[in-house]
Structure 1
C-alpha cells in the first residue's frame, strides 16, 4: 500500500493531455470521474461475463428486481450490464463518445447517480469536441495495473490523493469542500482520544457522520485512523453534501473504499435531512464559515417556532449571515442518548460562534443551552492560515453528552494558535511554515512526516492531560455566563432639574443608558454598588411636582424659616425667588430645606399649622442642625431596570490567554530612529531642514 502516491501521480499525469484546453482548476472534472469509472471497471472485471449472461436472462424484470440479482452476481453493491469495458472502449476510436455513453448507462442506479452528479456528460461533449476523449480513455485503459489494488482502502488513498491535488490547484474553492488533512487528523485524534480502549475491541463497529461532508475527507481520515488502531474494527460512514460535484466525489470515495455509498445523501442538511431520525457515535464537520442560511430560512424558522426543543433548533437561531451554530444544533440532535454510550462531536468554527450576539440573542441562547447542559467539553484554538480559502483564526469545538467524571461541569480551553510564541514562526510548537503557500494556506500542523515535528501529538497530549498550564485553561461552565443589566440615569430638563414621572420618581434618560455584564457567579446588587454607584454622584431627593399638595420650608437670608403649603411647588418657589411673596421678599435669597407631600390640601394645611407651632419650629431647627430634613436626603444616581435583565453566555478566548507585552521605551525608539537616519545617509535630517 506504500506506493499509492506513485499510482496517484501517474493518474495525475494524464491531466497533461488537457493542457491548453482546460484550466488547471478544472482538471479534476475530467480525471476524477474517469478514475471512478476505471476503478469500478476493474472491480467488476472478474464477474463481467456472468453479469452479462444474467442480464440477458433477466432483462425483462423490473429494475427493483433486476438490480439485486445482478449486484449479487457481481458480488459488490453495483454492476454494469453494458457490453463495453475500458478494454473494449479503447478498440473503437471513431465511436468513442457513443460507446462511452452506452457504458455509463449500463451501470446500476447507485453507480450511475454518482457519474450524473459529476455532470460528466458536459465533459464528454467537450473532450469529444477537442478530439481528446479517445486519448483519455486509452490512457486509462492502458493504466490497468494502477487500478489493480489489493484492497479497497488502497484505492481510497489513491483517490483521496487525487482529490487533494486537485483541491490544491483550485485554491479559490478548495476551502469550501476540502479540509487540510492535518486539521482533520487532529480533530479525529481528539475525538477518539478517550475511547481507544473501546475502539481496540475485536470486531467493534461504530458510526460516524458529517452533515457537510464535502469530498469526504473527514470521513476518510477517521476511517483510516480507526483502521490503524484496530484492523478488525469497522467505522460505518454517513454524510450529506449540498454541492453536486463534491457529493459525487464523496460517494465515489465511499464506493471505492467498500463503504455503503447509500449512506451519503445529497441536499441541504437543514431542509432535506437525508438521515432524519438517525443517531451516531461520532460526528465530525467543517461547515462553511460565515455562509448565510437564507435559502432554508423558512424551513428552519418554522421548525424552531413549531417544534421548539422537539426539533433541532429549539435553543435559538443565529444571525441569518452565519449558519455555523445551526450545524452544531443539527449534530447535537443526532446524538445517542443511551447512557454511557452517548456521542462525541468535533466541529471547526471561526471566531464568530464564540462571542457573537448579546444576551438574549440567538447565538447567546444557543451557547447558553450547550453550556448549561454540560455538552461543551473543550475548544482548541488552532493556527491561522491553515485553510486554502481563508487565513482567519479557527477553533475546534469538542461537544459530548458523555464527559468523563473529572470533566463534568468543566470546559477546557487550549491555545494552540502559536500566536504568542516569542520566536514567531521559528520553532513554533504548533505549526510549521510551508515552503510554498497554497492560496491562503501558509501554515500546517506538523504530523511527524517528512521531517516535521509531531505537533498533532503535542496538541492531543495537552487535551488528554487536562491540566492547567501556559496553553491550557480549565473553567467552570458558569464562568462563561453573565447577567446583562440595564443601568439608567435620570433625565434632566434644560434648566438642569431632574424630570419626574407621576409617582415622583426620576425619569430615565435613554441617552445616558448603559449596560453592564455581571459575571454569573457574582451577586448583581453587590456588583452594581461596587462597580457602578461608587463612580456616580448621588441625586437630591425628588421635589414635589405640580399637582401634589405639599408643605414646604424655606430658610431665609436672615436665618428665619418660612413655612407654607401649595398645590404647585415649582411655581410657588419661583414666586418666592422673584420676590413676589411679601414675607420672603425682603429676606431673599431663600433656600428650600424641607418638604412633605400629601394626598389632599386639607392634610397639607393641617401639617402646615403643626409646623408653625412652637413645638413644630423647634423640631425643624433640631432636624436642620442634624442635616436630616428632606432637602438633605439623597438617592442613587443610577438604578437597574430589572425588567430588562437577561442572562448571556460568551467565550472571550483571547482574554483568557492574554499576555501583557510592555511598550518599548522611548530610549529604544530613539536609538532605532537614529539608526534608521544613519542608514538613509542623512536624508531625514535634510527633509527636516
Structure 2
C-alpha cells in the first residue's frame, strides 16, 4: 500500500510550479476518487449504458442500474480517463463531461471544486500528464480491496497534510487503533453478530474519511459474511466528507446516511440511535463555533445531548463523549442496548474539580453505569500527537458481571516500533498485541492476559470508586490591629479608603497601641474617627480593619454579628474524601458520617479549631488511571551516582589539561 500511495502521490511532482504544496491534495484526491469509481464501474460499463438508455427519469435509471449492475450510482458519460485522453485538445471538456455525467449521488467532486481544478491544470499545461499518470494506476476492485482503498486514501491525506504543514491526524485515525477499538466494542456482541441475517447499525459523528466505519464493516463480515451492516456518518470537513461518501458509495451503502455538517452544532441524525457508535474526535479543539447551539441544548435539560454538563470552551472532546452516549440504542425489552467506543486524550479522565462541567459529565456516565472499560494505549500511536491516548468503551446494557463495574486496562507497554515514522506515529499495535488486549478485556480480572508482566494489565473497580466529596475546611480568622506607618500604607493603597478625605491624618493621631480583639479596636477607633468627624460606610469600615489587621494566632477570634467565628480565607483548605473511605458505605447518603469520620481522624488532631463548611461540600468524579497503575522505581544507589559524577569530573579535568597544554 505504501508503494501504491507513493506512486499516486508522485504524480503530484508534476504540479510543482503552477501549484503550491498545500494545493496538491485538491488535485490528487479527486483524481484518485474518479479513478476508483472508474475501476468499480469497468466490469459493468456495458450493462450500465444499456440500463441508462432505457429511462429518462433519474429515479428509474437508478433502479435499472442497480438491478443490472448492483451499483447505487451511474454515469451518463461515455468517457473514461483513457478515452478522454484520445482527444488531447479537448481533454478539459471531456473530463468535465465525465465528472458531470455522474448521478446525483456522486456529489463529491464539487467539494474539491474539481471542475475549476481541471481548467487550472489545463491552463498550466499539466492536465495531460496528470491524467495520463492516473490512467496508469490500477484501482480496480480486483487489484485494490475496499479496505486497501481506505488505507490509500488515508496515506494520501497524510501526504497532503504533511506537504501543507497541517494536522493530518485531525481527519483520520490509524488503522491499528481503529481495529482495536472495533474489536473491543464488538466483543460483547460476537455471538449475536454471527447469527444468520443479522443486521446492525454503526455510526461515527466525526467520521473523517470513514476509516472506522470501514473497519467495522470488515470486522462484521469476517464474523458473518452474510450479515447486514448499515453505516451512518457525519463529518465537518468537506474533503474528508467527500472521500467518506465515495467509499460508502463504492461499497453499496446508502449514501444518504453520510452527511456534511458540524455534529456539535447540529445533530443531522437527530432522534436516531444506533447499535454501535464510534468516534475519534479532535483533541483540544474549541467549540466556539457551536457554542450557541450547545448551550441551548444544555439548558434544555434531559432532552438535550449536553444536559449533564459542559466542558471548557477550549476543549470539545467531552461533548463528543456525551453525544456518543446519546446516540447509542436504548435498552429494549430483552435487555439489549447500544455500545460505543471513543478515542480521547488523558484530560477527560480527571480535568475539572468537583462541581465543574467535566466532573459532572464523568459523574453522569458513572452514575448511569455507562462506562464499561478504558484502555490506555502506548504513546506515539497517532499521526499528530505523541501524548497519552485512551479508548473509552461505553455500554448501556452491560453483562451482569460487569454491572456497576469499570475495567481499566493498561496497554502502554505494548506496541511495535515502526520502521519509518508517519508524523508523530512511531508505534503500532500488532495483531498479536490487539489479541492480548481483547483477551484481557474478556477475562475481566486483574491478571495480565498471558501472565507476561509486559502485557496488558487489568484492574476492575466499582463505579463509585471514582467518586469523592470535595470538603471545605475552615479555620477561624485571628488578627491583631495596630496603626503603624507600614499599615497606613495599606490604607492609602485601598481604593475604598483613598476617597475618604483626611482619614490618614486622623488615623496617625490614634496611637500605635496593639489590639488583639477586633471589636475592641474598631470600637475605640470608631470613637476617635467620630470625634474628628470622619464617617465611614460599612464597606469602608471592613476595608479599614482589613488594611490595619495582620494574622496573629495569639489574637482573639473574629466573630460575626451572631457570635459565630469568621473563616480566614487565607487558611481555607479543601480535603478530598473518597466514597467508601475507611470502610464506610460507598453511597451518597453516607456523606455526613464519612466526611465527619475523616475530619475527626485526619484534620482535627492537627488543627483543633477547624470546622467543616457543609454548604460548600461537592461531589466530584475523576478516574486517576495513571495512579492506579503506578510502579515505584527506586532511585539508583548513591555509590553508582558518585561513580558517574567522578567519571564526569575526570573527563572534564582531562579536557582542561588538554586546553592548558
TM-score by length of 1: 0.77
Task: Find the aligned partners of 2:447 and 2:148 in 1 and give their Cα distance.
Answer: 41
Q: Do 1:433 and 1:443's aligned partners in 2 also have CA atoms closer than 8 Å?
A: yes
| 1:670 matched residue in structure 2 | 642
RMSD value, Cα: 2.5
Per-residue Cα deviation, 1:249-279 (whole angstroms, up to 9, x for no partner) = 1111111222222211110112222211111
| 2:590 matched residue in structure 1 | none
Q: Do 2:477 and 2:557's aligned partners in 1 also have CA atoms closer than 8 Å?
A: yes
Counterpart selection for 2:141 from 131, 138, 149? 149
For residue 333 of structure 1, give the secondary structure of its aligned residue in structure 2: helix
For residue 110 of structure 1, give the secondary structure of its aligned residue in structure 2: coil
Q: Do 1:348 and 1:397's aligned partners in 2 also have CA atoms closer than 8 Å?
A: yes
For residue 473 of structure 2, give the secondary structure of its aligned residue in structure 1: strand
Q: Do 2:48 and 2:74's aligned partners in 1 also have CA atoms closer than 8 Å?
A: yes
Counterpart selection for 2:400 from 405, 409, 412? 405
For residue 76 of structure 1, give the secondary structure of its aligned residue in structure 2: coil
Q: How does 1:319-338 map to 2 (within 5 A)?
A: 319-337=312-330, 338=332
Q: Do 1:44 and 1:80's aligned partners in 2 also have CA atoms closer than 8 Å?
A: no
Q: Do 2:204 and 2:279's aligned partners in 1 also have CA atoms closer than 8 Å?
A: yes
For residue 682 of structure 1, give the secondary structure of its aligned residue in structure 2: helix
Call closer, same or farther: CA 1:677–1:100 in 2, change over 3 Å. same
* Cα distance, 1:114 vs structure 2: 1.0
Counterpart selection for 2:422 from 414, 425, 438? 438
TM-score by length of 2: 0.80
* Cα distance, 1:46 vs structure 2: 5.7
| 2:618 matched residue in structure 1 | 646
Runs of at least 5 residues in structure 1 that lack an aligned partner in the other structure: 419-429, 448-453, 539-636
Matched, 1:483 2:461: no
Q: How does 1:171-570 map to 2 (within 5 A)?
A: 171=162, 172-306=166-300, 308-337=301-330, 338=332, 339-418=334-413, 430-447=414-431, 454-469=432-447, 471-494=457-480, 495=516, 496-522=555-581, 523-536=594-607, 538=608
* Cα distance, 1:132 vs structure 2: 1.8
Call closer, same or farther: CA 1:501–1:524 in 2, change over 3 Å. same
For residue 118 of structure 2, give the secondary structure of its aligned residue in structure 1: helix
Q: Do 2:4 and 2:152's aligned partners in 1 also have CA atoms closer than 8 Å?
A: no
Task: Find the aligned partners of 2:656 and 2:395 in 1 and give their Cα distance.
Answer: 62
| 2:485 matched residue in structure 1 | none
Per-residue Cα deviation, 1:387-436 (whole angstroms, up to 9, x for no partner) = 11111111111110121111111111111112xxxxxxxxxxx0122222
* Cα distance, 1:161 vs structure 2: 2.8
Per-residue Cα deviation, 1:338-361 (whole angstroms, up to 9, x for no partner) = 143211111010011001111111
| 2:589 matched residue in structure 1 | none
Q: Which stretch shows the higher mean deviation, 126-135 or 317-326?
A: 126-135
| 2:156 matched residue in structure 1 | 166
Q: Which stretch shows the higher mean deviation, 484-493 or 23-32?
A: 23-32
| 1:549 matched residue in structure 2 | none
Number of aligned residue pairs: give it: 560
| 2:34 matched residue in structure 1 | 37
* Cα distance, 1:319 vs structure 2: 1.0
Task: Find the aligned partners of 1:142 and 1:527 in 2 and give their Cα distance.
Answer: 75
Call closer, same or farther: CA 1:142–1:168 in 2, change over 3 Å. closer
Q: Do 1:89 and 1:137's aligned partners in 2 also have CA atoms closer than 8 Å?
A: no
Matched, 1:100 2:95: yes
Q: Do 1:25 and 1:166's aligned partners in 2 also have CA atoms closer than 8 Å?
A: no
* Cα distance, 1:384 vs structure 2: 1.1
* Cα distance, 1:38 vs structure 2: 2.5
Q: Which stretch shows the higher mean deviation, 672-681 or 23-32?
A: 23-32
Per-residue Cα deviation, 1:199-227 (whole angstroms, up to 9, x for no partner) = 22223221111100101111111111222
For residue 94 of structure 1, give the secondary structure of its aligned residue in structure 2: helix
Call closer, same or farther: CA 1:527–1:22 in 2, change over 3 Å. same
For residue 197 of structure 2, give the secondary structure of its aligned residue in structure 1: coil
Call closer, same or farther: CA 1:463–1:47 in 2, change over 3 Å. closer
* Cα distance, 1:26 vs structure 2: 4.9
Task: Find the aligned partners of 2:578 and 2:88 in 1 and give their Cα distance.
Answer: 75
Call closer, same or farther: CA 1:234–1:12 in 2, change over 3 Å. farther
Q: Do 1:677 and 1:683's aligned partners in 2 also have CA atoms closer than 8 Å?
A: no
Call closer, same or farther: CA 1:155–1:432 in 2, change over 3 Å. closer
Task: Find the aligned partners of 1:159 and 1:298 in 2 and give their Cα distance.
Answer: 38
* Cα distance, 1:291 vs structure 2: 0.6
Q: Which stretch shows the higher mean deviation, 275-284 or 162-171?
A: 162-171
Call closer, same or farther: CA 1:95–1:283 in 2, change over 3 Å. same
Q: Do 2:39 and 2:141's aligned partners in 1 also have CA atoms closer than 8 Å?
A: no
Matched, 1:682 2:660: no
Runs of at least 5 residues in structure 2 that lack an aligned partner in the other structure: 449-456, 481-515, 517-554, 582-593
Per-residue Cα deviation, 1:123-149 (whole angstroms, up to 9, x for no partner) = 213321221212232343455xx2443
| 2:493 matched residue in structure 1 | none
* Cα distance, 1:685 vs structure 2: 9.2
* Cα distance, 1:87 vs structure 2: 3.8
Q: Do 1:318 and 1:362's aligned partners in 2 also have CA atoms closer than 8 Å?
A: yes
